Chains A and B, each alone.
Chain A
Amino acid sequence: MAPSNYLILLLIFSFCRYGNLQRLHEKIYSSIEGGAACFRRLNGTHQTGCSSGINGAVGVVHMIKEIIDVQWLMQNATAGPYMVVVSTHLFPDVIEHILEKPAIIAGILLHDNATGSSASFSQETRCPNEYSSSYGSTCSDSAAGGITWNEKGTGLLRRDIPFPIFYLPISKTFEIEKLDQCYLRYNVMDPANQKGRPLCSVQLHSFMFAAVDTEVCLRRSTSSALLTPTKVCDPLGDHNIYYSLFPRTKDNKNSQEITLVTARIDSASLFDGVSPGAASSVVGMVTLLTAATALSQMIPVKDASVYGQNVLWTLFNGEAFDYIGSQRVAYDIKQGTWPANAPLSVGDIRLHVEVGQIGGSLSVYDNTWPLHAFVPYVDDIPAIAEFLNTFSSNLEKNITLTPDYNSNLPPSSLHSFRRTFRNETESGALPEVLLTDFKATFSNMFYNSALDDYDNIDFTYHNITVDNKGTFIPTDALVANGTFKEVDPQVKIARLATVLARTLYQRVAGKAYAGNISVSAHLVDEMLYCFLKSQACRLLQAAEYASSGADEKPPERPAPLYVGVAAVGSTAPVFAGHLLALLTGTQLPLNRTDCYDLSVPGFSQYYLKGWNNSGVCIQTTMNISAALSPAFTIPNYNLKSGEYSTWTESVWQAMWARMFVSSSGVGARVAAVSGAVATLLAALLTYWLQTHAARIFTDAPAQSIVNDDAASGILRTVNC
């Protein structure tokens, strides 16, 4: 055969081998798709979250179906380490047991199950953002007794977990069923003698690059004299969104008195890409967005010169991680640099109203919506008394507001302002009010968790068409014709937003609102759908940039509300900003080029798709600012000082999970022993052959082979 034929044969042979290997790999492992891994975050002093080893974590599957299964695992298990498979329903009860003995645990596969719904599920601490709270706060996670806001919190989000955790959403239940079949087949019978048997196992891989704390990981990301540095972590951060009722410019004095109305955009969870934040943040954000929409209709922007008051609506981002957004804004106000085009001074803010966490009680099937106003003053502050009175007089249909004069404020962005402007807030020069739906502990049992989704606020999308002018059907009409009921969250939010808008109208105009503009439950329905169910929704489509090319359809899932890393912008604040522009801005009859060429002080223009998808020029005062902690912008900031948020997120390369049946180990032991025996036999045989060469080979050379002249000649040529 010609050499080329050999080559072809060799190639075919190698391809066959490769194909076989692939199939063998597939035969051994079954990939578990659609899981979200817990990852590592770091702050100035600690690392939190999870990481697997560099090759992943392997453990024998142990399904926790009842509490008793954990007790067996902790006391009687022999074949460890184990991969614990547990539902979200049982997780809060078993996690403390599991963390007591981490050595026998390889990892946790957490799954949301359809059958038993969880009563509570929150991985936040019992006092969220405890170390960034202001004077007057008494909540303490470590000390027993007293008020703890998030009573059901496990605190896992702020702990260093010594093993990986993966979360499988309800849509991936079939993966758990597959795993259960494997578990029942191999692991269940005779559990006391698991060791030495083939067992159903799982491997989780979520290796994190960063470690120790933010200082160490930032140092390792930036410095390396010899090699190109490997980035191991990034600061958390994104964008804040703000919008003023009237344009603010450096030289217009009449609208310098500001009422600051704020809410938060972001939520969080332990797992990558799963942070729905329905009750934690979306309800507050939607209330703010719709109230701003109504107020802009009640007071047209062209009447700006008539009024001496302005309203500044602001959405903070990154609040779940020691108030990143609000700390930055408070810091920038102190530095005199926020908002960039017409900086505020703290004295300009006559009242700060925060729409806090108000979604928790919406899951209760009840017409009423009892709200609380936290007022951190014992003295009577006129601005607050007036606001509360107006608010109460505007209240309608089942919503109640109970003031609570208490300096122990729940977690909210007010803490950032109280820390930065302690003199002003303490004296009442910067009066503050916080609206919540709880008094002592969160009514939301799923605070900052993967399960805080649309179900948690009982949201059902009604899918009512919107005409091509963007008109929404008034709430009362929808309730009257039976489309909505008073108990629906859309109706409640619309009514609350109306009250807020009318209260602010009275504050700006100095008289009670007499018109009939109100927030439509139809608009709230659409907006909740966009933030909780699908980005491919009418509102976001209309608020999208009108681009000339073919568009990519947005995914039919909600945008994650986790703040993410500052280097990569996330979509949630962009959506909120565009919605504000579309709903509150002034429509100008301009084409794209003229739209962007226009320059009016205090305004900016956006060319959006609009309701009939043809493109519309919107003039707005909406703007964005950085939500990156001052800790990362102040030169030589001491990251251990605890003054500002120092959260960073670790870099990782891949996250995956797979199941397989691990061998009993007998095969491996037999192979090792037989290998050793074969080597030994071969060595003995060789030795015997060498010593008795003369007997076997008739013309065997003499023993002194090495000293032979011919042989040393060969050695010489080899050596030199």
Chain B
Amino acid sequence: MDLTRLPNDKKLELCKWYFKVGCLLLPFVWGVNAIWFFREAFLKPPYEEQKQIKKYVLMSAAGAVAWLAVFAVWITIFQLQRVSWGATGDALSFIVPLGRA
């Protein structure tokens, strides 16, 4: 979809909708929203709905970054500690590595 062809009220609606969908534990949608509407929120000349769009873009970006941080921490802990967790580590693994601990 080309944002440049959408009227401004539709843009706001779309941005808001993406933010709401992202609330259903879908950080990728927040990430997409933040990147997609970044130009609309910060680079375009001001227009009426821009302030609201800016708000949703910022909230989406913050949410996506928070999720990313959580994932990064968990993945780091899991990769470093999986072996020492033993049975729990194997149970948490989707693909158990062959030929090593």
Measuring CB to CB, which residues of chain A are less than 8 angstroms from any residue of chain B? 51, 54, 207-212, 216, 219-220, 223-224, 226-227, 230, 232, 712, 715-716, 719-720
Contact yes or no, A219 B87, CB < 8 A? yes
* Cβ contact within 8 Å between A223 and B98: no
A209 touches B90 (CB 8 A): no
In the bound complex, do residue A232 and residue B98 qualify as a contact, i.e. CB atoms below 8 Å apart? yes
Given A220-B96, A719-B2, A212 and B91 touching (CB < 8 A)? no
| Interface residue count on the B side (C-beta < 8 Å) | 15
- Report 29 cross-chain contacts, Cβ distance below 8 Å, ordered by A residue: A51-B99, A54-B98, A54-B99, A207-B98, A208-B99, A209-B98, A211-B98, A211-B100, A211-B101, A212-B101, A216-B86, A216-B90, A216-B101, A219-B87, A219-B90, A220-B90, A220-B96, A223-B90, A223-B91, A224-B96, A227-B94, A227-B95, A230-B98, A715-B2, A716-B2, A716-B5, A719-B1, A719-B2, A720-B2
A208–B100 alpha-carbon span in the complex (Å): 9
With a CB–CB cut-off of 8 A, which chain A residues contact B91? 223
Q: Binding site of A, secondary structure by majority: helix, strand, loop or mixed?
A: loop
Residue-wise, chain B 73-98 has the 8 Å CB interface mask toward A (1 for contact) of 00000000000001100110011101
For residue B101, which residue of chain A has the nearest CB? Answer: A212
CA distance A216 to B100 in the complex (A): 10
Dominant secondary structure of chain B at its interface with chain A: loop
Set of chain A residues within 8 Å of B94, measured between Cβ atoms:
226-227
Q: How far is the CB of B96 from chain A (nearest CB, A)?
A: 5
Which partner residue on chain A sits nearest B91 by CB separation?
A223
Asked if A209 contacts B87 (CB within 8 A), the reply is no
Q: How far is the CB of A225 from chain B (nearest CB, A)?
A: 8
Docked CA distance A580–B4 (Å): 91
Closest A residue by C-beta to B87: A219
List B contacts of A230 (CB < 8 A).
Answer: 96, 98
Query: Considering the chains assembled together, what is the distance between the CA atoms of A211 and B98 in angstroms?
Result: 8
| Contact of A720 with B98 at beta-carbon distance under 8 Å, contacts A220-B90, A223-B91 already known | no
Please give, as numbers and ranges, the residues of chain B lying within 8 Å of A51 by CB-CB distance: 99
Tell me the smallest distance from the CB of B70 to a CB of chain A, in Å.
Answer: 23
* Complex contact A210–B99 (CB within 8 A): yes
Q: In the assembly, what is the distance between CA of A127 and CA of B18, in Å?
A: 70
A573: min CB distance to chain B, Å: 31
Task: Report A-chain residues with C-beta under 8 Å of the C-beta of B98.
Answer: 54, 207, 209, 211, 230, 232
Residues of B within 8 Å of A208, CB to CB, are: 99
Q: What's the Cα separation between A720 and B1 when bound, in Å?
A: 5
**Which B residues touch A712, using CB under 8 A?**
4
CA distance A447 to B29 in the complex (A): 67
Contact B99 A209 (CB under 8 A): yes
Nearest residue, chain A, Cβ from B89: A216
Specify the chain A residue showing the minimal Cβ separation from B83.
A212
CA distance A208 to B99 in the complex (A): 5
A224 to B90, CA, bound (A): 9
A719 vs B5: C-alpha distance when bound (angstroms): 12
Query: Residues of B contacting A719 with CB < 8 Å?
Result: 1-2
With both chains docked as a complex, state the minimum distance between the C-beta of B7 and any C-beta of chain A, in angstroms: 16
Other CB < 8 Å A-B pairs besides A207-B98, A226-B94, 15 of them?
A: A54-B98, A54-B99, A207-B99, A209-B99, A211-B98, A211-B100, A216-B86, A216-B90, A219-B87, A223-B91, A227-B94, A227-B95, A230-B98, A716-B5, A720-B1
**In the complex, what residues of B have CB within 8 A of residue A220's CB?**
90, 96
Which B residues touch A210, using CB under 8 A? 99
* Min CB–CB distance A428 → chain B (angstroms): 45
CA distance A207 to B99 in the complex (A): 7
For A224, the chain B residues whose CB sits under 8 A away are 96
User: Which residue on chain A has the smallest CB distance to residue B5?
Assistant: A716
Closest Cβ neighbor of A47 among chain B residues? B101
A227 to B98, CA, bound (A): 15
A38 vs chain B, min Cβ distance (A): 14
Give the distance to chain B from A334, nearest Cβ to Cβ, in Å. 30
| Separation of A224 and B95 alpha carbons in the complex (Å) | 9
Task: Tell me the bound Cα distance from A715 to B4 in angstroms.
Answer: 12
Residues of A within 8 A of B95 (CB): 227
Chain A contacts of B1 at CB under 8 A? 719-720
* Distance to closest chain A CB from B10 (angstroms): 14
B101 CB contacts on chain A under 8 angstroms: 211-212, 216
How far does the Cβ of B5 sit from chain A's closest Cβ, in whole Å?
7
**In the A-B complex, the 9 residue pairs with the closest CB atoms:** A209-B98, A211-B100, A212-B101, A220-B96, A716-B2, A720-B1, A208-B99, A211-B99, A719-B2
Complexed CA–CA distance, A712 and B90 (Å): 52
**CA A511 to CA B96, docked complex, whole Å:** 66
A720–B5 alpha-carbon span in the complex (Å): 11
For B99, the chain A residues whose CB sits under 8 A away are 51, 54, 207-211
Residues of B within 8 A of A715 (CB): 2
Q: In the complex, what distance in Å separates the CA atom of A209 from the CA atom of B101?
A: 11
Determine the distance from Cα of A208 to Cα of B96 in the docked complex, in whole angstroms.
14
Q: In the complex, A577→B62 CA distance in Å?
A: 75
Which of B5, B86, B91, B96 has the largest number of chain A CB atoms within 10 A? B96
Which residues of chain A have C-beta atoms less than 8 A from B4's C-beta? 712
Write the nearest CB–CB distance from A323 to chain B, whole angstroms: 28
Report the bound CA distance from A211 to B95 in whole Å.
15
Interface code B27-67, partner A: CB below 8 Å = 1, 0 otherwise? 00000000000000000000000000000000000000000
Least CB separation from A650: chain B residue: B99
A residues near B2, Cβ cutoff 8 Å? 715-716, 719-720
Q: How far is the CA of A633 from the CA of B2 in the complex (A)?
A: 67
Once the chains are docked, how many angstroms separate the CA of A226 from the CA of B94? Answer: 7
Bound form: Cα–Cα A462–B65 in Å: 83
Nearest CB in chain B to that of A715: its residue: B2
**B27 smallest CB distance to A (angstroms):** 22
